[in-house]
Chains A and B, each alone.
Chain A
Amino acid sequence: NAGVTQTPKFQVLKTGQSMTLQCAQDMNHNSMYWYRQDPGMGLRLIYYSASEGTTDKGEVPNGYNVSRLNKREFSLRLESAAPSQTSVYFCASTATYGYTFGSGTRLTVV
């Protein structure tokens, strides 16, 4: 099925651990995004990649790094997880029309 695939769906980390959230799209979209969703805050942009080979910071980039591996894949890395990074993470992609979101990763940092 065409769309945006995110892995894993759920993850529990201990403070200080690292992990990478994976995202892949098969719609040949140029732009990809990582958002986090927190209660009462709405979704906020962490990082984005307007095209293959470029990445830029969004509203809340601290504590995260990203890699646009190729046109299909855009990963988000937490080098040293903190409880403040407990959230639901969504990857998304877009071309000219519309946005497509992944199903989300629910991350808990204890």
Chain B
Amino acid sequence: KNEVEQSPQNLTAQEGEFITINCSYSVGISALHWLQQHPGGGIVSLFMLSSGKKKHGRLIATINIQEKHSSLHITASHPRDSAVYICAALSGSARQLTFGSGTQLTVLP
């Protein structure tokens, strides 16, 4: 049973569109990470949040602890945003991550 669920699995958008990726989790968490992975590349942490909302450039992440739900938004999407976006729940005294299966985003010019 996957304790972190992401949707959609795949997303294709036109350049300039507003994009939303959703993440639901069933475990108790201390924080939630949004990660980005480019093809063949490493993993970069975009956000770590435990409440409310964070913004960095065109990226916005929100979390609702009561509903166990988080969203990642990309405004004015660009082809360079094409990547896999992964949400991961941070929990436990050892601060382990439980990962969603990722959302493959393709932004077309």
Contacts and interface: CB of A to CB of B under 8 A. Distances in A.
A33 interface: yes
A31 B102 CA distance: 24
Interface stretch (B55-63, B69-77, B89-97): B89-97
Contacts of B90: 99
B3 to A, nearest CB: 11
A31 B97 CA distance: 12
Given A42-B86, A99-B48, A48 B43 contact: no
A42 B101 contact: yes
Interface residues of B, number: 21
B95 A94 contact: yes
Given A41-B101, A42-B101, A101 B44 contact: yes
Interface residues of A, number: 24
A50 B48 contact: no
Q: Is the interface of B mostly helix, strand, loop or mixed?
A: strand
B96 A99 contact: no
Contacts of B25: none
Given A42-B86, A42-B100, A43-B86, A48 B94 contact: yes
A12 B62 CA distance: 41
Given A43-B99, A90-B42, 14 more contacts: A31-B95, A33-B97, A42-B86, A42-B101, A44-B99, A50-B93, A58-B96, A90-B43, A92-B43, A97-B48, A98-B48, A101-B35, A101-B44, A103-B41
